[in-house]
């Protein structure tokens, strides 16, 4: 049976970069945030978001993600409402994707809120990607052209690194990408050994 490896980390930790490096070793990778973005374009989800948050966050029928983010990252209850719309749809999509990759010995499930959503319970192993807070903030500012204040708001809705690490099997420190890649190789060696034991 295919093993699910959860990969998580706070915003700006570089977990997607690490996930893509795993992918270069022919490991199927599911990037939950990317899939959630696509799923949020579906008529069913758009209607649910409209009914919950109103028409104001749509411009010419297109969801204004920045407006929605501003609402949900300022109100934990509204964030929970959004998650209750999106997460079940992502889970359904992932289950279907997993069936398509059932021949693989393991797959990687990458999600920013792996623990917060409870999805970590479905994983056989968990990897947390970390980086110092200032580096993470700067990465997100550069990537999203946003403000430090907004990045900190998003960070404050997520678990701390300490809390994630306490529930993880492996930790990859992603300050230098070259060193982080070496950690990936070590994990892959461990997985190969485990595979032979089965």
Tell me whether residue 146 is annotated as binding.
Answer: no
CA distance 180 to 176: 6
Tell me whether residue 157 is annotated as binding.
Answer: no
Tell me whether residue 13 is annotated as binding.
Answer: yes
Tell me whether residue 118 is annotated as binding.
Answer: no
Residue 111, SS3 per DSSP: coil
Angle at 91 between CA 5 and CA 84, to 5 degrees: 125
Buried residues in 49-75 as b, exposed as e (16+ CB within 10 A): beeebeeebbeeeebeeeebbebbbee
Tell me whether residue 15 is annotated as binding.
Answer: yes
Tell me whether residue 2 is annotated as binding.
Answer: no
Contacts of 162 (CB under 8 A, 6+ apart): none
Binding residues for ATP: 12-17
Binding residues: 12-17
């Amino acid at each position: 049976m295919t093993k699910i490896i959860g990969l998580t980390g706070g915003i700006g930790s570089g977990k997607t970069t690490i996930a893509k490096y795993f992918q270069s070793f022919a490991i199927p990778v599911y990037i939950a945030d990317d899939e959630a973005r696509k799923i949020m374009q579906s008529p069913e989800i758009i209607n649910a978001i409209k009914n919950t948050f109103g028409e104001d966050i749509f411009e010419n029928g297109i969801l204004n993600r920045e407006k929605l983010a501003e609402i949900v990252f300022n109100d934990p209850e509204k964030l929970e409402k959004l998650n209750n719309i999106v997460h079940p749809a992502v889970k359904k999509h992932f289950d279907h994707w997993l069936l398509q990759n059932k021949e693989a010995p393991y797959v990687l499930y990458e999600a920013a809120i792996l623990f917060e959503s409870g999805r970590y319970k479905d994983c056989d192993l968990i990897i947390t990607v970390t980086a110092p807070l200032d580096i993470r903030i700067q990465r997100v500012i550069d990537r999203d052209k946003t403000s430090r204040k907004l990045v900190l708001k998003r960070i404050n809705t997520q678990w701390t690194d300490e809390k994630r690490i306490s529930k993880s099997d492996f930790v990859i420190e992603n300050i230098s990408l070259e060193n982080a890649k070496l950690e990936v190789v070590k994990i892959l060696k461990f997985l190969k050994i485990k595979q032979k034991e089965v």
